[in-house]
Structure 1
Amino acid sequence: MNSVHPTAQIIGNVSLGSGNTIGPLAVIIGPVTIGNGNWVGTGCVIGAPPEVRSWAHPADALAPGSGNGIHIGNNNVIREYAQIHQGWHDQTRIGNDVFVMNQSYIAHDCTLEDGATLASSVLLAGHVRIGAGANLGLGTCVHQRRYVGAGAMIGMGSVVTRNVPPFAKAYGNPAKVASANRVGMERAGIPVPTITAVESAYGTTLNEALEDLDGLEGFEEALAAWRIHAQS
């Protein structure tokens, strides 16, 4: 049902669905729930304690139960030496069809929604949320409690210190919205008039842009999620 390399370590309360591949030297420390059809590469560490100074780290670094858990959905790819830490206040959560490239770091209480992509060496601080279908370029760093909206694209080497709205293109240090992700909107089936309006709005200041996008067909769900999570 699952292919687990003999050198991998699965410790404590770890639930595996079916069709998962766990590579050499991977370490998974419960509580962790993993769905179906996931691919975990060499040397990944999933389930280490949250990196919080005040956290009571166990005497045994591989002791299970040190954290509030990790939930990983279905059909995700987690490449070599990526790290996903236990939740601190809540669970750390990975949705479905997420692609996490090598040496990426996902801290405690992060959420990656369905279809998100992290390129190599992306660093997410605690409580970060990455929206569905968002794409973070090589070496991007995201400050704690930031929200990258659905379908957004972040340029390589960017430092995200502010929330990024849905289907925006942003880059730089600090990252700033430069334009709209037209290709992403087309792939998401968003109507052309809405795409045109988003492109125009992202040429203005952010608050004005969001006001102008209310009620646009195909954009309502992403904008509603933005308003919920960007203010939380």
Structure 2
Amino acid sequence: MTPGENSIHPTAIVGDDVVLGAGNTVGPFAVLTGPLEIGDGNWFGAGVVIGAPPEVRSWPHPPSATERSSGNGIVIGNRNVVREYAQIHQGWHDRTVLGDDCFVMNQVYIAHDCTIGDGVTLASSVLLAGHVRLGDGANLGLGASVHQRRVVGNGAMVGMGSVVVADVPPWAKAFGNPARVRGANAIGMERAGVEPALVERVTELYEGPFSRDDLLALASTEVGVAFSDWDVATR
């Protein structure tokens, strides 16, 4: 493959309504159907299914196997890795969006209308219900499940096997069933270059009871945009 070309395995199916950028790799038996826009430098593993109709009981599914999938579209950015048998479904009310530089492990399920930020990590068998929003750098552990319309903030970590039924604020660590905030992702903040005093401040906040107002008080800090965006997304 020369630079800029896409490498598509001969057993893969790429629909007519799929727009591919450059340098993408599509593995064996992958199925990509549109409307679907894909950027550059992505890697899709064997058996990936991207573009099936939204799993909504009332949605009019295509009447024949030869007709295009239906839905409001999917947009995938650049340099993502989507591993074996992961699924990303068409939007229902809006488009389903996967940002840049995400790592989506095997058998992950991303439902209709989800919005996934940049640099997100989804471990094997993570399940996202419809309309879920994940902020930049969020990290969800093996087998975690997120209820529809929940928001997980930037840099948050969700532990393996957790069931998220409430919004998770930025830079929090949450785990359990139901998942609750159990501390701060201090290491993540440090790696992101957040100043030590602010890391300590967020860590202290998440160690005890806190309110939305406590979170919004961080809006004036260097990580304030993450808290402001989370506040808007969760209202």
The correspondence of residues 40-79 of structure 1 with structure 2, limited to 5 A, is 40-61=44-65, 63-79=67-83
1:38-91 superposed Cα distances (whole Å, 9 cap, x missing partner): 000000000000000110111124632400000000000000000000000000
- Segments of 5+ residues of structure 2 without an aligned counterpart are none
Partner in structure 2 of residue 165 of structure 1: 169
Determine if contact 2:6/2:24 at 8 Å carries over to the other structure.
yes
Q: Match for residue 193 of structure 1?
A: 197
CA RMSD of aligned residues (A): 1.1
Q: SS of the counterpart of 1:210?
A: helix
Within 2, Cα distance between the matches of 1:50 and 1:61?
16
Aligned mates of 1:179, 1:154 — CA distance in 2: 11
Residue by residue over 1:89-148, the C-alpha shift from the partner in whole angstroms, topping out at 9 and shown as x without a partner, is 000000000110000000000011000000000000000011100000000000000000
SS of equivalent residue, structure 1 residue 132: coil
| Number of residue pairs the alignment of both structures matches | 230
Does the alignment pair 1:31 with 2:35?
yes
Q: Is the 8 A contact 2:52 2:69 kept in 1?
A: no
Deviates more, 1:91-100 or 1:56-65: 56-65
Q: Tell me the TM-score normalised to structure 1 length.
A: 0.96
Matches within 5 A, 1:1-232: 1-61=5-65, 63-207=67-211, 209-216=214-221, 218-231=222-235
State whether residues 158 and 174 of structure 1, in contact with CA within 8 Å, keep that contact through their aligned partners in structure 2.
Answer: yes
Question: Contact 1:11–1:62 at 8 Å: present in 2 too?
Answer: no
Instruction: Give the letter for the 1:182 counterpart.
Output: A
Instruction: Give secondary structure in 2 for the equivalent of 1:227.
Output: helix
Deviation at 1:225, TM superposition (A): 1.0
Cα separation, 2, equivalents of 1:155 and 1:178: 10
Q: 1:6-33: per-residue Cα shift (whole Å, max 9, x none)?
A: 0000113100000000000000011000
Q: Percent identity?
A: 61
Give CA-to-partner distance per residue, 1:123-180, whole Å, 9 cap, x none: 0000001110000000000000000000000000000000000000000000000000
SS in 1 for 2:187: helix
Counterpart of 1:152, as a letter, is A
Distance in 2 between residues matched to 1:61 and 1:89, nearest whole Å: 24
User: Structure 1: 5+ residue runs without aligned partners?
Assistant: none
Q: Which moved more, 1:164-173 or 1:54-63?
A: 54-63
